[in-house]
Homo-oligomer: A and B are copies of this chain.
Amino acid sequence: MFDLLNKIVNENKKYIKNGHVATYIPALAEVDENQLGVAIVDLRDCNCKEYFAGDYNKSFAIESTSKVIALIMAMMDNSPQYVFRKIGVEPSGFAFNSILNMKINNKPYPSNPFINAGAIIVNSLIMGKNSNEKTNRILEFTRKLTNNPNIHVIEDIYLSEKRTGDINRSLAYYMKGHGLIDNVEDVLDCYFRQCSISVTAIDLARIGAILANKGVSPFTGEMIIPRDICTIVKSIMVTCGLYDESGDFAVHIGIPAKSGVGGGILATVPNKMGIGVFGPSLDAMGNSVAGVKILQQLSNELVLDIFD
């Protein structure tokens, strides 16, 4: 498996040049776009081995991939039923930060938890009396999911997000104006921190492995996420996980996944494995250009497509 991953990383480096790092905040624009790495936590081995290659242990900003963690917490803190009275679960057919999602469809709430408007609502549903307390809970939970005590907020990403987050601020005030959230600035502060958490491909693979394993840690046997919540999250990853490339990803790769503009992709193959990919060069849709190719090759070579 190590050989396979090394081969795949090398073979897909050529796609890096088809994309670019995110530039909407200065802190992301400085990232070295030639990085590429992958990690797998394989549930099919009896002792659940971890495999990896390339820049699998380089840190990067989690960005939208954090929406998976926040959604799990919001559902655990309340209940899935409660959360889905506040947001929808339909794919939206619009760009990820568009304010049109609610307006044009005359919906009383954002289409799904993975567009920015929905993710801001989800953040507001996480328990905690303010941004600090909520951020600490998100960090604690992410450390538990990744078994990595070093999980932290990358300060300059957070400040950069906060300083330039006017479209998110616009979304948040629009939703406040429609009675969907309160305390806009506090919710956004926590949302910007949530997006600025530092992770590695290994971290994402471990989260994917827990989701694949119905919520049970493959290392400790502890139930970390209720099974029904894992199922829900995986289904939304398929319908909405890769922005406006979700349908294409489902057709050609067929693995529940969630990307982030930091270059990470968290993938989870039910009952088989968690996969983390890191490649900060992004395609036009905002997904890791070489990362998507790596997942496609993995899906083919290891026969992972859940629709097969």
Binding site for B on A (CB under 8 A): 84, 88-94, 98-101, 103-105, 111-112, 166-167, 169-174, 176-177, 184, 214, 227, 230-232, 234-236, 238-240, 244-248, 250-251, 254, 256, 270, 305-308
Contact = CB atoms under 8 A, between A and B. Distances in A.
SS of A interface (majority)? helix
Contacts of A250: 89, 235-236, 238-239
A99 B239 contact: no
Nearest to A244: B90
B236 A239 contact: no
Contacts of A84: 251
A196 B235 CA distance: 32
A166 B170 contact: no
* The 10 residue pairs across chains A and B that have the minimum distance between CB atoms: A93-B93, A166-B177, A91-B91, A170-B174, A170-B173, A90-B247, A234-B307, A167-B177, A89-B247, A169-B173
A103 B98 contact: yes
A90 B91 contact: yes
Contacts of A174: 99, 166-167, 170
Contacts of A177: 166-167, 169-170
